[in-house]
Amino acid sequence: MPEMKNRATSLRTFLNIIFKRKYIIISVFASVVATVTVGTLLMKPVYQANSKILIEREMDSEKSLLFRMNLSLMYEKHDWLKSEIEMIKSTPVALKIIENLKLDQTDFKGVKQQSQILATFQNRLKIESTKDSNVLDLSYESGNASQAAEVVNKVVNAYVEFRLHLFSDSEQYQFFSDQIRVAEEKLRELETRQAQFKQNQEIISLEAQSDILLTKIADYEKALTEVRTKRIGKEAMLTVIKQQLASGDKANFPVTETSNSLSREKHIARLRGELLDLELKRDQLLQKFTPEYEEVADLEQAIISTRKRIETEIDEIVTLEETSIRAMKAEEQALQSTVDELNEQIKAFAMKEYELTQLSRGIEDNREVYSMLLKQREEARISQAKLERGVKIKVVSPALTPSQPTKPNKRLNVLLAIILGFVSGLGLAFFIEYFDHTVNSPDELEEQLDLPVWGVIKSVEFEKITTN
């Protein structure tokens, strides 16, 4: 019961203070609301344009699989969107927008220093990243609605251009291009020298001409070997014939190639047959008659004549064999001379081939260098393209001209003014009441003196009871 009584007393005291200081509360409330309302009406409207862009980063999936890296973890680890936000808010982007749209003559007309213009622009440009996404929300505040939208859209374009310029690696690409031009000029010079050398030396194809020379010398060496073998065989046969002739055996001799013709062979065979017949008849007659017998003498003369004819044939054969051997020697010398000449040609061709190989080796080396430079330039181009296109930027929603200003918010300001006025009035009333020691009721007197009040005398002139 005492607690209920204390609560009722406190509430009554609170209401008494309000009713007692109502004029102060009302005046403060009215002043605050009026001031805020007038200030809100006098404030210049501020428009805010918004645009949303989607930024997708191309990760190297092959490297991620190779090193077993989680793409999402890598994204969170590097927090790469922060770098993109910093590029959007960078000084080059801001200066380009200020210069293109001439904001220093419109929005920042009163600001003279460029650093202040730049700081004001960057403060007005707001960039926020949407949670758990790659979407950035760009906004810009301006007193001109159309200009606010134009600034946001221009910022996106300037950011894309600045990013391409920032990650451009044209120096490396240009370096490889210059080296390729030098290598190409050197390669063309070597190829020209090679063509002139081939033309002067009458070289069409190394392999073909080398095969021709080797084939020719092989054929001539084969023919030389055959002629030499045949000559040696004939010389050996001729030596045997001469030995037989020297021993007196002129009737029997080896058959040679020269004597081995069909007519000569038949003729010698016929003479040999006649010689045998004559010798047989002579031997038969000698069994009956003496050598002086006329018929025996005739047979003896016939035998001698036949032997002479055979010797004549043999001598002719020997002469022919010697002539054939001399012809073979001459042919052998001619073949040997041709072989020597071909060897000299092969040596000379080998020197040409060596010189041409050196030229060709230089050409091949330069071609490898040229090919390597082309490959490296292409790699530089791809690397540059990856850097430039490593991030895909897509405008999700372009900035539109706002129809309503974002500042001032009249309803919100009036509502806050009402709350502030009411709180300020109450606060001022209780502040005054706290320092006011005037007693206005018996209850306050009992509370101040901690003594019971037995009676109250009401006076028309003196309505208030005071304490010393």
234 plus 370 within the same structural domain = yes
Q: Which helix (H) or strand (E) holds 140?
A: strand 135-142
92 plus 27 within the same structural domain = no
Provide the total of helices (H) and of strands (E) in the chain, helices listed first.
14, 4
Tens of pLDDT, residues 7-43: 555 777 777 777 777 888 888 888 888 888 888 777 7
* DSSP labels, 343-398: HHHHHHHHHHHHHHHHHHHHHHHHHHHHHHHHHHHHHHHHHHHHHHHSEEEEEEE-
Please check whether residue 87 lies inside any domain of the structure: yes
CB atoms within 10 A of CB 217: 19
Q: What is the pTM of this model?
A: 0.45
| Radius of gyration in angstroms for the set of CA atoms belonging to the chain, rounded to a whole number | 66
Q: Is the pLDDT of residue 66 over 50?
A: no
365 plus 217 within the same structural domain = yes
Closest among 191, 149, 145, 159 to 86, alpha carbons compared: 159
241 plus 334 within the same structural domain = yes
**CATH number assigned to the domain comprising residue 108:** 3.30.1890
Residue 424 has a pLDDT of 85
Tens of pLDDT, residues 151-187: 888 888 888 888 877 766 566 767 778 888 888 888 8
Q: Is the pLDDT of residue 450 over 70?
A: no
Please check whether residue 55 lies inside any domain of the structure: yes
240 plus 360 within the same structural domain = yes
23 plus 94 within the same structural domain = no
Tens of pLDDT, residues 286-324: 888 887 878 878 888 888 888 888 778 777 877 888 888
349 plus 454 within the same structural domain = no
351 plus 459 within the same structural domain = no
Higher pLDDT among residues 426 and 57, named by residue = 426
Q: Helical H runs in 390-435? A: 410-435
Q: Is the pLDDT of residue 461 over 50?
A: no
Write out the residue range of the structural domain in which residue 461 sits: 439-468
Query: 384: pLDDT confidence band, cut at 50, 70 and 90?
Result: low
Please check whether residue 402 lies inside any domain of the structure: no
Please check whether residue 98 lies inside any domain of the structure: yes
Residue 67 has a pLDDT of 41
418 plus 382 within the same structural domain = no
Q: Measure Cα distances from 103 to 49, 99, 110, 135, 143 in Å.
A: 16, 7, 11, 27, 12
Q: Which of 108-122, 133-147, 199-213, 258-272 has the lowest mean pLDDT?
A: 258-272
Domain count, the chain: 4
428 plus 459 within the same structural domain = no
Query: 250: pLDDT confidence band, cut at 50, 70 and 90?
Result: low
179: tokens are: 């080296």
Higher pLDDT among residues 433 and 239, named by residue = 239
